[in-house]
């Protein structure tokens, strides 16, 4: 599965190589919150939100598409006592964890978006890619593993050289056990998300334009 995902993502990226003459480079920071979904929290969005932060580097291939590399830090926690059903009250499991999430994604803008005042200055967008999770701290023994990041957002052009936006994204993992619960024995209480753990980021980012593909600096343009 991991090899298939890697080959597919590589193909998508290089399929756009004919657009690289239009590349615009950006670098920025992200700040917001992170939370987990799994056997303790099966469906509650923004459950036990914890701080997250990171950095991103983006290549705008054209007005509609971009690729970006990201590295985010995240914290998670969960407790059966936060939920009212008797099964979880009796199980009484809790956990906390922190990790670094590294990924590369392909982004599609619904509106043409470029550092040019003649173009729309905002656009909603979707993205999908391939990532890798590096566990830093966990109550349980959890291995590093591949993920599939996907999400949506809206970005707004502050100036010719700066963009701000909001983003909400998810990470599909291929393992269970971040929360210390693997393959619950009772079918009735198995997770509604295929018994694997997910995690999510939501927050604000800001990026600044760097040198473009031809090497000229925007600060010196007439």
Task: List, as one string, the DSSP characters of 151-187.
Answer: EEEEEEEEETTEEEEEEEEEEEES---TTS--S-S-G
Q: Highest mean pLDDT range out of 20-24, 60-64, 135-139, 208-212?
A: 60-64
91 Rama class: left (phi>0) / alpha (psi -120 to 50) / beta: alpha
Backbone angles phi, psi at 146, to 5 degrees: -75, 155
**Over 50: is that where the pLDDT of 9 sits?**
yes
**Over 50: is that where the pLDDT of 177 sits?**
yes
pLDDT tier for residue 198 given thresholds of 50, 70 and 90: very high
Q: What is the mean pLDDT of residues 131-157?
A: 91
User: How far, in Å, CA of 171 to CA of 147, rounded?
Assistant: 6
If you write DSSP's letter for every residue of 14-46 in order, what string do you get?
HHTGGGGGG-EEEEEEEEEEEEEESSSSSS-TT
Pick the CATH number of 2-16+26-220 from 2.60.130.10, 3.30.70.20, 2.40.160.20, 1.10.3480.10: 2.40.160.20
**Over 80: is that where the pLDDT of 50 sits?**
yes
**Over 80: is that where the pLDDT of 221 sits?**
no
CB 147 within 8 A of CB 135: no
**Over 70: is that where the pLDDT of 216 sits?**
no
> What is the number of other CB atoms lying within 10 angstroms of the CB of residue 122?
14
């Amino acid at each position: 599965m991991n090899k298939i995902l890697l080959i597919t993502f590589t193909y998508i990226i290089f399929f756009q190589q004919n657009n690289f003459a239009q590349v615009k480079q950006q670098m920025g920071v992200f700040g917001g919150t992170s939370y987990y979904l799994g056997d303790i929290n099966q469906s509650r969005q923004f459950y036990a939100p914890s701080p997250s932060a990171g950095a991103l580097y983006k290549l705008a291939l054209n007005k509609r598409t971009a690729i970006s590399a990201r590295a985010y830090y995240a914290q998670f926690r969960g407790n059966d006592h936060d939920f009212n059903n008797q099964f979880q009250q009796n199980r009484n499991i809790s956990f906390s964890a922190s990790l670094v999430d590294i990924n590369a994604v392909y982004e599609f803008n619904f509106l043409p978006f470029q550092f040019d005042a003649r173009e729309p200055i905002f656009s909603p967008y979707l993205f999908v890619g391939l990532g890798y999770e590096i566990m830093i701290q966990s109550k349980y023994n959890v291995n590093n593993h591949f993920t599939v990041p996907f999400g949506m957002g809206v970005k707004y052009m502050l100036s010719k050289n700066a963009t701000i936006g909001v983003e909400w994204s998810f990470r599909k993992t291929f393992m269970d056990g971040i929360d210390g619960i693997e393959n619950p024995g009772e079918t009735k209480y198995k997770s509604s998300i295929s018994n694997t753990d997910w995690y999510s980021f939501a927050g604000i980012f800001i990026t600044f334009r760097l040198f473009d593909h031809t090497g000229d600096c925007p600060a010196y343009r007439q």
